[in-house]
Amino acid sequence: MKALGIECTAHTLSIGVMDGGERLSNVIDTYSGGSEGLIPRKMADHHAECFARVLSQSLGDAGLAIRDIGLIAFSQGPGIGAPLSVGIAGAKYLALRHGKPLVGVNHCYAHVKISEHLCNMENPLALYLSGGNSQILLEDAENHYRVLGETLDIGIGNMFDSFARAIKMEQAHGGALSKLAEGGKYLPLPYSVKGMNLVFSGLLTAAEKAARTHPHRDVAYSLMETSFAMTCEVAERALYLTRKKSLVVCGGVAQNRRLQEMLRKMCAEDGVKFGVAPDEFNRDNGAMIAYAGSLLHRRYGPTPLEKCVPITNYRIDRMKEVLG
């Protein structure tokens, strides 16, 4: 069945179409916010303004009309209420207007499932690293996800964005920060791992302080090296605990090539298969929502209309309770 997926948890509106495991389209439009940063209402306005264009481009790329679509899937959370509401309203309109089933999708679940699929892995240990989340995930025997370890304060991506803002970078995000970090020298920064959990706020504060007296390039490099090393340590501990022989990394921060290199090396040393999906699927994207929506529809059927509401704090380990 062809599924259309709408992604709208934060600053990106994306609409993608999947036919089972095949990507037919994936149009991504991201609101940058400029110097004023990301204001929720402005993200919502952006999504409302570009929804029709992104939809028609996505259907056009797929060579389909809305009547060819069998299922409308939408990102239900975790995310920011205002942009989520716009995406969900669009999904409801399409489903009701054209008589299609609707399926609400957990955003983290979608990242994990599309990555598993594209890396050709079955039930790997998953490392999910994004702006708001940093989690180690395991699917149990009943196909529910458990969080084995996670950040105890901020997400790793948020830490990079905050640091980039603190040193007044024009493009305040992790991608620009990793460019700045190229060729940097290592400075010792606090390393904070608690079992399989991570703590980033002390590291961020120390990096901001160091940036007052050291070259920004060296601090950016050290911040990334330290946080990636912490991440590798908790992933390796989880691999030993679970005896898993495959690891997938997903989410926005998974696009970082240095992190990929460190994880790949660690996995090679431990005899573990390592996988990461192409960048397009680690960005917030509609195709992964379409793919995950198809999986959930097969298992749980459509989401009742009254349950099609944003769940801003929708943790992956709450899916059982939400989907019942």
Nearest-10 crossing angle of helices 174-181, 156-166: 70
- Adjacent-strand bridge partners of 135: 128, 150
**Shortest Å, Cβ 110 to Fe ion:** 8
- Adjacent-strand bridge partners of 89: none
Judged by CB, which is closer to Fe ion: 210, or 290?
A: 290
Give the 3-state secondary structure of residue 285. coil
Enter the tokens of residue 66. 């809305």
Enter the tokens of residue 31. 């609101």
Distances (CA, A) of 245 to 82, 143, 194, 272: 40, 18, 23, 5
**Shortest Å, Cβ 118 to Fe ion:** 15
Judged by CB, which is closer to Fe ion: 130, or 134?
A: 130
Angle made by CA atoms 283, 15, 302, in degrees to the nearest 5:
110
Please identify, among the stretches 127-135, 136-144, 162-170, 212-220, the one whose residues bind Fe ion according to the rule CB under 5 A: 127-135
Assess 7 for contact with Fe ion (CB under 5 A).
no
**Shortest Å, Cβ 44 to Fe ion:** 18
8 A C-beta contact, residue 235 and residue 136:
yes
Please identify, among the stretches 37-45, 135-143, 188-196, 276-284, the one whose residues bind Fe ion according to the rule CB under 5 A: 276-284
Judged by CB, which is closer to Fe ion: 114, or 204?
A: 114
Interface residue with Fe ion among 284, 286, 288, 295 (CB under 5 A) is 284
**Shortest Å, Cβ 107 to Fe ion:** 6
- Binding-site size, Fe ion (CB under 5 A): 2
Residues that bind Fe ion (CB under 5 A): 130, 284
